[in-house]
Chain A
Amino acid sequence: MSTSSHHWGMAVDLDRCTGCGACVIACQAENNVPTVGEEEVKRGRVMHWIRIERYYEGEFPNPQIKFRPVLCQQCDNAPCEPVCPTYASYHTAEGLNGQVYNRCIGTRYCGNACPYSVRTFNFFNPRWDKPLHLQLNPDVSVRQVGVMEKCTFCVQRIKAAEIQAETEGRSLRDGEPAPACVASCPPRALVFGDLNDPNSEVSRLARSPRGGKLLEELGTRPKITYLQRGSWDGENR
């Protein structure tokens, strides 16, 4: 639980998601996520912090496709946190699952422990061929080989918004810190906000009857609510 005034959470509306993938690109641009190349992707080392999972049901000519954006669930009972020997993975006061790149020695224990497999690992030193290095976001560090990384809810944007609000002597407005994926989603399927504020949109959606949590039975207490009209084991009502 958070000890400060904010407890960040997210809602993902699967009924609005079109699977366009804008969130994936926005995240990559914002957070300096490296591209690993075709060979490495084939070996299973893709580095996207958010991914659009696609599940196919039915046969031609009526296949059904379900999209599900999966990112770090920022679990309150995160299995990835206690297993890190160097405290690289830990729980911040605002309820985020923080990843401290400098502390990581690359045991990859957290990657195994995460049931959602949202953690990615730098198997090699990332490279940005010129002129792509000009695209790097100066607010976010670049990670070295052997370091684990994952979605941080764009903590740099959260911090920037908090500092801005404090300078202006006001509190944060609902929707003010917007992670890159949330800001870039065309149908507004992704909603971000403060779960401690009962009037914020994300709190309202978290209470929605359409809402459920991913792998809730594992007891990880994730902070992302997935909304969909159908039930969770695929029977559409």
Chain B
Amino acid sequence: MKPQNALYALCSRPQAEKSLVALVSAGIAMDNIVVISSEPLDHYQVRRRKKTLMPWLVVCGAALGGTAGFLLATLTQASYPIATGGMSVVTFWTDGIIIYELTMLGAILSTILVFLSTSTLLEWRSLPVEPEVSAGKVLIGVASVPQRLRERVAELLSAFGEVKQYH
């Protein structure tokens, strides 16, 4: 999701909250505002907890893993039945361990997959890289500036520093 007409500036951490408020009251949607920092900011508004589907998707992944474990263990034991030590051909106690491990593996892999796919990682061009961020500054910007608000946004951002454009 590459931004078009993105404008951003670098401000200091306490200024991040104020700039966010200013941008929102200027009419920019919250989803359109990008705040980049080198540690998670815990401001009330800057870090609005959006509902994330990740836990539910992980549960689905775990269920998938568990099903895979069940099918693997029981179907393969039944397909080539070999008697061992007085036990039955399909042994549910021991299959339970396999099912458990694959459930956990499913949870782990789905966590990684969901994280990689929903956090815009691997989309190298979608956001700018500013070395100043690692020095403690916060990058605050608007991903897609509506044409009519372009000057207002530029004016607001220029209060903090140089306004940069990103394509």
Contacts and interface: CB of A to CB of B under 8 A. Distances in A.
Find out whether A and B make contact in their complex, taking CB atoms under 8 A apart as touching: yes
Interface of A: 75-82, 84, 87, 89-93, 221
Given A81-B83, A89-B84, 12 more contacts: A75-B85, A77-B86, A78-B86, A81-B84, A82-B87, A90-B82, A91-B84, A91-B85, A91-B86, A92-B83, A93-B83, A221-B86
B82 A82 contact: no
17 contacts: A76-B86, A77-B85, A78-B84, A78-B85, A78-B86, A80-B85, A81-B83, A81-B84, A82-B84, A82-B87, A87-B82, A89-B84, A90-B82, A90-B83, A90-B84, A91-B85, A91-B86
Contacts of B84: 78, 81-82, 84, 87, 89-91
A81 B87 CA distance: 10
Interface of B: 82-87
A6 to B, nearest CB: 15
Contacts of A80: 85
Contacts, number: 30
B25 to A, nearest CB: 67
Contacts of A84: 84
A79 B85 CA distance: 6
B92 to A, nearest CB: 14
Main secondary structure of the interface of A (DSSP, over half): loop
A213 to B, nearest CB: 15
A84 B87 CA distance: 13
Contacts of B86: 76-78, 91, 221
A81 B89 CA distance: 12
A79 B86 CA distance: 9
A133 to B, nearest CB: 34
Contacts of A221: 86
A210 B100 CA distance: 49
A142 B100 CA distance: 41
A193 B84 CA distance: 22
A84 B82 CA distance: 12
A147 B83 CA distance: 21
Nearest to B83: A91
Nearest to B91: A82
Contacts of A92: 83
In the A-B complex, the 8 residue pairs with the smallest Cβ-Cβ separation, listed nearest first, are A81-B84, A81-B85, A77-B86, A91-B83, A82-B85, A82-B84, A78-B85, A90-B82
Contacts of A77: 85-86
Contacts of B82: 87, 90-91
Nearest to A100: B82
A84 to B, nearest CB: 7
B137 to A, nearest CB: 57
